[in-house]
Amino acid sequence: MNDDKIIVCRCEDIDIQTIRNLIDQGVTSLDEMKRITCGPIIAREIAMKTGQSMEEILSTHSRPPFGGVLFQEVLEGIDNEE
Amino acid sequence: MRNKASVVIVGGGITGSATAFSLAKRGVKDIVLIERNELASGATGRCGAGIRQQWGTYQNCLLARESMKVFENFQEVLETDIDIELKQKGYLLLAYSEKEMDQFRSNVEVQHQLGIPSRLVSCLEAKEIVPFLNTQKMFGGAFCPTDGHANPFLTTKAYANAAERLGVEILKKTEVKGITVENRRIKGVHTDRGFIETDKVVNAAGGWAAHIGEMVGLDLPVYSERHEILVTEPVNPIMDPMVMSFSYNIYCQQTPHGSFIMGYGPENEPRGYNINATWQFLEEMVRKATWLLPPLKNLRIVRQWAGLYNISPDRQPIVCESEEVKGFFMGIGFSGHGFMIAPAVGTLLADLVTGSPLTWDVVLDLGRYDRHEIIAEPSVV
């Protein structure tokens, strides 16, 4: 299996090669990277390439929701309240 | 870090980055751009990523059309390899009353004076453009096929890279703490990394524009307001244009990456710097979006966030040099449409800073409020 095609983020459909290319282009903070792509696994790639610790890199915000939620599920939630 | 600069630009969003590039391109040396966080970390990177030319005033149409020319020829103009993910599949604006249709009719006339290829559409034609659109209660709409999408992060990054290549120093993670003014002239900028002597400052601070104004003793007529937004997982392309309505209050587009991104304008939102996401927004957004675009019910929302609109009295940008403080320039008050006109605004700010005549005949100065020449733009969300 081609290592470059590994999907690191299912919700954004980002593969590892995309991340590595961006790091090579100088995007080496998680804040910048996650804005262009996605979050946590990317932190490890940045750490490996730059030698920073995961703690240094992971000082960023997490945004809700934490897992994908269907519009339909939110709608049902509203209907149940009413 | 330089301790002397010909110009200090405050803010590393799209406006600051585009201005840095335009100035450097004209041969201005020793430019410093200061960004408190990361490039595009404020309003630019939080926006809906739409670019439209369907405006109601001649000057807004002009700025949007000129900016679109840059987006369309981006790699050439900036000499960059970065692909800004331009998508020109149109903006479809929906009308919910005869009055709103009349407004679109007069807007389209203005747009045609500038060669913007917009047109009015019937409900049936709207459904041809977006087959699953719910046209209940709709009176019709307007469509411009060359409007669309560009990626705000990549566009900002491309401008910043091009500016750096031309010698601009970009200081990220650097905060402006104060600005020294003597005899109503700029003398320098204090940062948390030291003092930079300069006689010109460009305020491109987006949501914090008023705060930078206070540093030179100005009470700028702008304030900030939270606007929320959400994004779904990426799916196969099913919707070509941005779908937008001023009266139903929604915008929603599918990016080239495949995700849907959408928001609406808040009611009774207090002024301030709060950018927390709320469940109230999530619920209302879901309600609005699934009524208008029913297939969205089956999509997953993966993230929501918020950013600041920097709002001016007429919801139009303020691009000028201060009358009170020589050397204090500003590109502020974009009221939610800063990204899409930034290429033109960067050019105008470069005109102002270099003391050149404005490239286009537009009135965006602060003095318009005293002269009561406010810009009556009818088409703002």
**A61-79 mean pLDDT:** 77
A12 touches chain B (CB under 8 A): yes
Q: Over chain B, what is the mean pLDDT?
A: 96
Q: Which chain A residues touch B153 with a CB distance below 8 Å?
A: 32, 35-36
Per-residue pLDDT tens over the stretch A8-37 = 776 666 778 888 888 888 887 777 777 666
ipTM summary value: 0.78
Residues contacting residue B112 through CB under 8 Å, at least 6 positions apart:
B118
- Whether residue A1 has pLDDT greater than 60: no
Q: Which pLDDT does position B381 carry in this prediction?
A: 67
Domain ranges (residues) in chain A: 3-81
| Residue A62: pLDDT band with limits 50, 70, 90 | low
Q: Which pLDDT does position A5 carry in this prediction?
A: 74
Per-residue pLDDT tens over the stretch B24-43 = 999 999 999 999 999 999 99
Nearest to B296 among A31, A63, A71 (CB): A71
Stated pTM of the model: 0.89
Residues contacting residue A52 through CB under 8 Å, at least 6 positions apart:
A46
CB B360 within 8 A of CB B354: no
Query: Between these two residues, A41 and B200, which has the higher pLDDT value?
Result: B200
Beta strand B31-34 with B318-321: parallel, antiparallel or unpaired? Answer: unpaired
Domains and CATH numbers, chain B: 7-47+153-221+314-368 (3.50.50.60), 88-146+223-311 (3.30.9.10)
Query: Between these two residues, A78 and B282, which has the higher pLDDT value?
Result: B282
Per-residue pLDDT tens over the stretch B97-134 = 999 999 999 999 999 999 999 999 999 999 999 999 99
Q: Which chain A residues touch B296 with a CB distance below 8 Å?
A: 71
Per-residue pLDDT tens over the stretch B64-105 = 999 999 999 999 999 999 999 999 999 999 999 999 999 999
- Whether residue B7 has pLDDT greater than 90: yes
Q: Is the dihedral of CA B164, B167, B172, B175 positive or negative?
A: negative
Q: Which pLDDT does position A65 carry in this prediction?
A: 63
Query: Count of A–B CB contacts within 8 Å?
Result: 73
B165 touches chain A (CB under 8 A): no
Lowest mean pLDDT among B216-220, B229-233, B276-280: B276-280
| Residue B374: pLDDT band with limits 50, 70, 90 | confident
Query: Between these two residues, A69 and B355, which has the higher pLDDT value?
Result: B355
| Residue A49: pLDDT band with limits 50, 70, 90 | confident
B99 touches chain A (CB under 8 A): no
List the single best residue of A15, A71, A73, A80 to mutate versus B (max B Cβ within 10 A): A71
B326 to chain A, minimum CA–CA distance in Å? 35
Q: Burial-class residue A15 by CB neighbours within 10 Å (0-12, 13-18, 19+).
A: middle
Lowest mean pLDDT among A32-41, B186-195, B296-305: A32-41
| Cross-chain Cβ contact A35/B40 below 8 Å | yes
Q: What percent of chain B has pLDDT over 90?
A: 96
Quick one: which H or E segment has residue B64?
Answer: helix B58-72
A70 to chain B, minimum CA–CA distance in Å? 4
Q: Which pLDDT does position A66 carry in this prediction?
A: 58
| Residue A61: pLDDT band with limits 50, 70, 90 | low
Q: Burial-class residue B4 by CB neighbours within 10 Å (0-12, 13-18, 19+).
A: exposed
Quick one: which H or E segment has residue A36?
Answer: helix A30-36
A7 touches chain B (CB under 8 A): no
B301 to chain A, minimum CA–CA distance in Å? 5
Query: Between these two residues, A64 and B362, which has the higher pLDDT value?
Result: B362
Q: How far apart are CA B370 and CA B372, in angstroms?
A: 5
- Whether residue B169 has pLDDT greater than 90: yes
CB B115 within 8 A of CB B77: no
| Residue B279: pLDDT band with limits 50, 70, 90 | confident
Q: Which pLDDT does position A30 carry in this prediction?
A: 75
Q: How far apart are CA A18 and CA A13, in angstroms?
A: 10
Q: Which pLDDT does position A33 carry in this prediction?
A: 74
Q: Which pLDDT does position A22 carry in this prediction?
A: 82
Query: Between these two residues, A28 and B234, which has the higher pLDDT value?
Result: B234
| Cross-chain Cβ contact A63/B289 below 8 Å | no
A51 touches chain B (CB under 8 A): no
- Strand blocks (E) in chain B: 7-10, 31-34, 50-51, 91-95, 119-121, 140-144, 148-149, 169-171, 176-182, 185-191, 194-197, 201-203, 223-232, 242-245, 250-254, 260-263, 300-311, 318-321, 328-332
B363 touches chain A (CB under 8 A): no
**Shortest CA distance from B291: residue in chain A:** A75
